[in-house]
Every structure is written in C-alpha cells, then in structure tokens.
Amino acid sequence: MASASDIPASAASPQSLKGFHKDVFPNGTEDSVHSFKAADLIIERSQTPKARPDQTNLVFGTVFTDHMLTIEWTSTGGWEEPHIKPFDNLSLHPACSAMHYAVQLFEGMKAYRDADDKVRLFRPMLNMNRMAKSAQRACLPAFDKAELVECIKKLIQLDQEWVPKSNSASLYIRPTFLGTEPSLGVKKPSRALLYVILSPVGSYFSTGAKPVSLWADSKYVRAWKGGTGDCKMGGNYGASIYAQYEAVDYGCQQVLWLYGDDHQITEVGTMNVFLFWTNEEGEEELSTPPLDGVILPGITRQSILELTRKWGEFKVCERHLTMADLCCALKERRVKEMFGSGTACVVSPVGRILYQGENLHIPCQEDGPQLASRLMKELTDIQYGRTPSDWSVIV
Ligand SMILES: Cc1ncc(COP(=O)(O)O)c(C=O)c1O
C-alpha cells in the first residue's frame, strides 16, 4: 500500500503558492495579456466528419462532435495558442498528476438552438467564474475567462450542426482542466491541459418531470467544510458513485446528501436542493442551503434565487435545513414541494425520501409541482430564446 514515505521529500515539502497566479499573470489579474486569446486560435478541420446520431435516442455523454478545443500551459512558457482540432484521444504521460492525485476539474454547460436557428449559451461567465475558482483550488493556472468563452463559441460555431434542432434537446459542453505534471511529486503542476468537448444530449422533459426518490443516510458524506465540495473537481464525483449504487439497492434513484450530526440537507445527487414550504414562522418560503463550503454553487440555483426574488411573491431564503426540520414540516403539512436544480434537468421534483427506515412522501401542489413547473418553463424559455434575457448569449 502506498504511504507518505513513497513520496520523495522534495515533493512532499510544498513550495509557496504565493505568486502562483502572478507567475502566469504578472499584473495579478486574469485579464492579463498572458492568457491565451481566441484571436490566436489555430483551427484544423476534421477530414472525416461523423454521421450525427438520432437525437431522439441519445444517452447522456456518449456521443461527441467532430472537434475539440485544446489549450496547453507550462510553468516556463505560460499559455500556448488555443487549438481546435478533430476530436481524438489524448496522449498523457503515465505519471500525469490528474491521474495520480486528481489534479483535475470540469464544468458543465449547454448550448441551445432557438426558433430562429441561433445557438445560445446560458450565463456562460458564471461557469467560467466557477471554473476559475476550481482551478485556483486545484493549483491549476488562471486564465482569461472571457477569452475561454470566445474559444468555446468558435468551437460550437464549427460544430453548430450538432446542436439539436429541438426546443428541448441541447448540446452539452464539457470544459475540462487537467494537471499534466509528468512526475510523481505531490505538488502544483508544471504543465496543464485545458480542453473542451461537446456532446448532443436529449430532452429531459419526457422523464424529468417525474418525481425522484432519494436515499437519505449519513453513512456517506459528499463534501465537508474545508474540502472541495464547493468546486467542480472530478474527485468529488468519483467518490460519490458507490453511495449512488447503495441508494439504488435501497430502491431509490439518488442520494440525498446529509451533513453533520444534525443531518443537514445539502444536495440531491448532483443537483442543488430547494424546499418550498411554510416555515416555522408560518411564512411561505423557498429555501436552499447556503454556500457555506459544502454546496456546489450551481448556476441554476443562482438563477432560481434571482428569478424568485424578482417575483417577490414569497420569502426566498438561503438557510440550513435539517432532516428534523423537514420531518416536522411534513408532519404539520407545511411542505409544498421539494426539487433539485441543475443544468442537466433544470429542475427535478422530489417525490419520496427514505430516511431512517421510513418513507417520507413529499407532497406536490395540486395538479403537480407548480413551482418546479413554473421555474422549468421560465428558465427554458430564456435558454431557448423564447423570452428575451441578457442571461442568454448568442454564440
Ligand atoms: C454537486 C452538484 N451540485 C449542483 C449542481 C448544479 O449546478 P448547475 O446548476 O451549475 O448545473 C451540479 C451540477 O453541475 C453538481 O455537480
């Protein structure tokens, strides 16, 4: 078994992180000229375009478009020019730090085709902000976020025929950032690879509105204070798969992640969670856990908070919610709806929670989950350009 002594002393004693981002950007800002630039893109077109799949029958993340974006970085040379090239396997050094120490992160966003055939992104700078934050936590270099959006737009333009012609399917965008340090020391990488791949994905609407069942057990913890749960790092997800299978063994579809001795409700599977209820003071309230370090700051979560605060129809709160709060509210019939939120499904109603051997049935408002349905409509109307909004950015 590997032990700390497997790691050479020079590598085990970390260098200072101070100035790491300054190494890349001497003026200390991400807008520095030292980032890659979309204007420098080198484009090599695929000579063997693939047949596009039947978009009614897509399994998430299994089919990829003809091209990918790659951008390499070294500590000595900084960022190289961005490349768009035919989609292909990567070639990585077997000691690559992403493989050994999970020096890795990713993002998840989508491109939508509107009725006028224009392709749109939804709040892409929010994904870039989250990606930059994950990069800092992973000791990966900073980059100019606006330039990365421009590079992604160019990639989508090249593969635009892959954006489904549908008012519910979309093109999933997966920016990925790897430490490619070719040595086994546990240290900040001297090399990195940022790449973006695209995958057409089907509609969630056929199955998405069906309430999901959750397994709530404190046996596994998704994230903890001081950890990386508030960043989108692959390790958070790899470590969650085992619990997901246990949830299925208990007859549930997903895990309701709890935290702490008081069983705080944190997230649902890979979604943020919302409770629409009458709170302890008798007020109608939409609540979601606060960004206290164990919550991934979802773009959909932020959008739901901003939309509902703008409506001004009920109290909107970022607050801790425990299983005891939920059980008490259920007993007193104060729960109206509960739902998860995320890019994949927008909103996903919760129908049942298995907790301490008991099935908790989560009510929906009469005729189905009214708030979840309304949010689904408002958000998808913006994403597909049916409602004009500066949240929707044309590619
Ligand atoms: C753990 C986790 N929580 C929440 C979310 C929702 O985030 P977003 O709304 O940005 O898709 C995701 C999805 O990426 C996630 O992986």
In this prediction, residue 75 carries a pLDDT of: 95
In this prediction, residue 365 carries a pLDDT of: 67
How remote is the CA of residue 272 from the centroid of ligand 1, in Å? 6
Domain locations in the chain as residue ranges: 4-203, 207-394
In this prediction, residue 265 carries a pLDDT of: 98
- CATH 3.20.10.10 describes domain 207-394: yes
In this prediction, residue 381 carries a pLDDT of: 97
How remote is the CA of residue 298 from the centroid of ligand 1, in Å? 5
- pTM over cut 0.85: yes
**Could you say which residues of the chain have pLDDT below 50?**
1-5, 8-14, 19, 21-33, 206-207
Pocket of ligand 1 (CB under 6 A): 108, 267, 270-272, 296, 298-301, 341-343
- CATH 3.30.470.10 describes domain 4-203: yes
Q: Is 51 exposed, middle or buried (0-12, 13-18, 19+ CB in 10 A)?
A: exposed
Mutate to test the pocket of ligand 1, among 270, 346, 376 (most ligand atoms within 8 A of CB): 270
In this prediction, residue 31 carries a pLDDT of: 44
In this prediction, residue 209 carries a pLDDT of: 67
How remote is the CA of residue 281 from the centroid of ligand 1, in Å? 30
How remote is the CA of residue 391 from the centroid of ligand 1, in Å? 18
In this prediction, residue 55 carries a pLDDT of: 80
Mutate to test the pocket of ligand 1, among 272, 379, 391 (most ligand atoms within 8 A of CB): 272
Q: Are 258 and 264 in contact (CB under 8 A)?
A: yes
In this prediction, residue 158 carries a pLDDT of: 98
Strand duo 358-361 + 346-355: pairing:
antiparallel
Q: How far is Cα 369 from Cα 236, in angstroms, rounded to an integer? A: 30
In this prediction, residue 204 carries a pLDDT of: 65
How distant is the alpha carbon of residue 18 from its chain centre? 28
In this prediction, residue 11 carries a pLDDT of: 43
